[in-house]
Chains A and B, each alone.
Chain A
Amino acid sequence: MGFEFTMDSFNKVLEDISKNFIFYAPRRIPGKGAFSDTDVVVYQEVEGFGQIELDEKSRFSPKEVINPITQTLFYFNENGYTEPETNNKGIIIFCRPCDANSFKRLDEIFLNNGPFKDSYYESLRRKVKIFVIECVQGFENCFCVSMGTNRFDDYDAFIRVAEDRITCDVKDNLLPAFVKHGISAEMRPDFISENAVKVAIPDQVNKTIFTHEMWREYSERCIACGRCTVVCPTCTCFTMQDIFYEDNHKCGERRRVWASCMIDGFTEVAGGHDFRPDKGMRMRFKAMHKIYDFRKRFGYNMCVGCGRCDDVCPEYISFSNCINKVSALSREVNG
């Protein structure tokens, strides 16, 4: 159903549903950019629509909301363990179509990638509703159209912001709040149909690509900082940490914390052997996972084309350009 709002009336909707939901959205944090006198845009709790950053792509992705960077799984002492209590409020995430599509990828990894569902993830994921914010132009480095992630139809609400008016298409049982404060209006979601950056995804990847010398360039250029993976909405790797509290070694906690295949140590095993010491090999592993290996298993590509990896690489390594190189090579090899 379609509705129209002013900023004020839309905020009233949010106020009404805030009894049962926490809102997360891209938010500009002044002065918290890495460089002095710069801001960072990151997913955080918001109270009103005015706090949402609409003009700049967020540096970090909304995966943080349901895949926390540091998550305590349980606390232990000599006698047993307890899991942390969870908040029972629902979660509404305001995000762009590419990011909305990323949750499906996270679901595959955490819920469908083996005999067990990840219960910690599931307990957060279950509570999520997705409010898609319409993209009209996209941002620098976006290539969602090439990935087919420019569209997202499975939203709970779709939001268009134009000249201080908010129009929504709402599908959910939250309707009463929308009915109460909005005026009913025609609303058909639109999705962008073209990005400045276009990426060709190879259908077939010949084995020779895996050992091709194209990766060598990245061995020299990449500094293994991991920025490209921590900002990626579809990277899910984590590591486990058992912590023994410093002033009482009999108590502690088990945490899981994000990890990155680009950072030193990721493939190091007991005894010191390292499966992918070379940065070019890491780049190959990451790229192929995003556009090939995941697809072999789940039938569609992992990468949603948000372009954040390109936005943040301090060495100006472009992932989209890398994929286009792989495609060109594949065409050459496959004839």
Chain B
Amino acid sequence: MDINTKQLRKNAFRVTKNRGMTALRIRVPGGNLEVKYFDVIKKVAENFGNGRVHITTRQGFEVPGIPMEKIPEVNRMIAPILDGIETAVGVEIPDLNSGYPAAGTRNVSACIGNSVCPFANLNSGEVALKIEKLIYPNDYHVKIAVTGCPNDCIKAHMQDIGIIGMALPVYDSYRCIGCGACVKNCRRVATGALSISNYKVKRDHRRCIGCGECILKCPTSAWTREDKYYRLVIMGRTGKKNPRIAQTFLEWVAEEAVMKVIANMYQYIDNHIDRSLPKEHVGYIVDRTGYPVFRQEVLLGVDLGQLGRVAESINFGGYFYERTNIFG
């Protein structure tokens, strides 16, 4: 059998431990899927795979047990998925019958967001689709996730780029009855950014993380939301070398700024990636260039707006598996 494994991988198939067998990865940007596509996935699994799917942590489907020679047929079968999910949001797919054009940049995952979740400060799935349009297809290895609030149900802190929805609470002191619900709750579940003075509430903006809890708790709508804002956490990862959670890079920025930073990051990768390696995750590139270079390049032409702030320095920390330290 003569298979170009590089092309196979780029086509969103996998080289598996069973020789000659592959597995297909289906993207579900935002983790939000119309159930009609289950029929297509089912058909692929039953006709070409082993009748099972693996639900991935990135909210995609992996269909295992596919003989490599069936790849062209599988690709034709999934054309409706590519068309309905990818081209529908503006992703350019060169040939709908040839399967996925790239696999490096992973599925953009998202929490359920404000279509269901009361805590959500945004429609996470919709933002994920906008990002999908912006970055796919792309071979660079990047993981992005969108989460509606700092509860971070999608684990944006384990991504290269984690996008967290923020609400700017605006206060109408006339409507406040001084019940204290927002103050107690902010202290209990968030950051203690609120205090009572003269029976009315004060918000310390430097402590506030824009979770929006105060807005949800207020019985009289004294707290309401203004425009949507975003926090960006960067370079979280798992992996063998140095697992770590992402650190805050930007806060209180608008959606356009987020999109521009992401687009710039691909240029940054292009500028600095070590082409002698088969692949290099963006986090390791940042480890090499240092944060200041990353910051400078991804912020090119970015409007941070009035409230936006940038981390002056970041200590990514994380964890090195030093056996000698642990076991002596």
- A interface, CB within 8 angstroms of B: 31-32, 34-37, 40, 42, 59-60, 68-70, 225-227, 230, 239, 241, 243-244, 246, 255, 257-260, 263
B179 — nearest CB in chain A belongs to which residue? A263
Residue numbers in B under 8 Å from A225 (CB-CB) = 181, 217, 219
Find residues 191-219 in chain B having any chain A CB closer than 8 Å to their own CB. 197-199, 212, 215-219
Find residues 281-318 in chain B having any chain A CB closer than 8 Å to their own CB. none
Tell whether, in the assembled complex, residue A36 and residue B177 are in contact, meaning their CB atoms are under 8 Å apart: no
In the complex, B174 has a CB within 8 A of chain A: yes
A59–B215 Cα gap in the complex (Å)?
Answer: 15
Tell whether, in the assembled complex, residue B219 and residue A227 are in contact, meaning their CB atoms are under 8 Å apart: yes
Residue numbers in A under 8 Å from B118 (CB-CB) = 35
Tell whether, in the assembled complex, residue B173 and residue A36 are in contact, meaning their CB atoms are under 8 Å apart: no
Please tell me which one of the listed residues B121, B197, B219, B228 contacts residue A230 in the complex, with CB atoms under 8 A apart.
B219
5 more CB-based (< 8 A) A-B contacts, given A225-B219, A257-B177 = A32-B221, A36-B121, A69-B175, A226-B179, A241-B178
In the complex, B120 has a CB within 8 A of chain A: yes
B221 — nearest CB in chain A belongs to which residue? A40
A32 — nearest CB in chain B belongs to which residue? B224
Tell whether, in the assembled complex, residue A60 and residue B221 are in contact, meaning their CB atoms are under 8 Å apart: yes
A42–B167 Cα gap in the complex (Å)?
Answer: 21
Find residues 218-262 in chain B having any chain A CB closer than 8 Å to their own CB. 218-221, 224-225, 228
Tell whether, in the assembled complex, residue A36 and residue B181 are in contact, meaning their CB atoms are under 8 Å apart: no
Residues A260 and B177 in contact in the complex (CB < 8 Å), given A34-B218, A36-B114, A37-B114: yes
Tell whether, in the assembled complex, residue B224 and residue A37 are in contact, meaning their CB atoms are under 8 Å apart: no
Task: Sample 27 A-B pairs with CB under 8 A, ordered by A number.
Answer: A32-B225, A34-B215, A34-B221, A35-B114, A36-B114, A36-B120, A36-B122, A36-B123, A36-B165, A36-B212, A37-B122, A37-B123, A40-B224, A68-B174, A69-B177, A69-B220, A225-B217, A225-B219, A226-B179, A246-B197, A255-B199, A257-B178, A258-B177, A258-B220, A259-B177, A263-B179, A263-B181
A230–B199 Cα gap in the complex (Å)?
Answer: 17
A226 — nearest CB in chain B belongs to which residue? B219
Tell whether, in the assembled complex, residue B225 and residue A36 are in contact, meaning their CB atoms are under 8 Å apart: yes
Residue numbers in A under 8 Å from B218 (CB-CB) = 34
Residue numbers in B under 8 Å from A239 (CB-CB) = 178
In the complex, B134 has a CB within 8 A of chain A: no
Residue numbers in B under 8 Å from A35 (CB-CB) = 114, 118, 120, 216
Find residues 108-152 in chain B having any chain A CB closer than 8 Å to their own CB. 114, 118, 120-123, 148
A69–B173 Cα gap in the complex (Å)?
Answer: 10
In the complex, B93 has a CB within 8 A of chain A: no
Residue numbers in A under 8 Å from B176 (CB-CB) = 69-70, 257
Residue numbers in A under 8 Å from B225 (CB-CB) = 31-32, 36
Residue numbers in B under 8 Å from A31 (CB-CB) = 225
A42 — nearest CB in chain B belongs to which residue? B221
Residue numbers in A under 8 Å from B198 (CB-CB) = 241, 243-244, 246
Residue numbers in A under 8 Å from B212 (CB-CB) = 36
Residue numbers in A under 8 Å from B216 (CB-CB) = 34-35
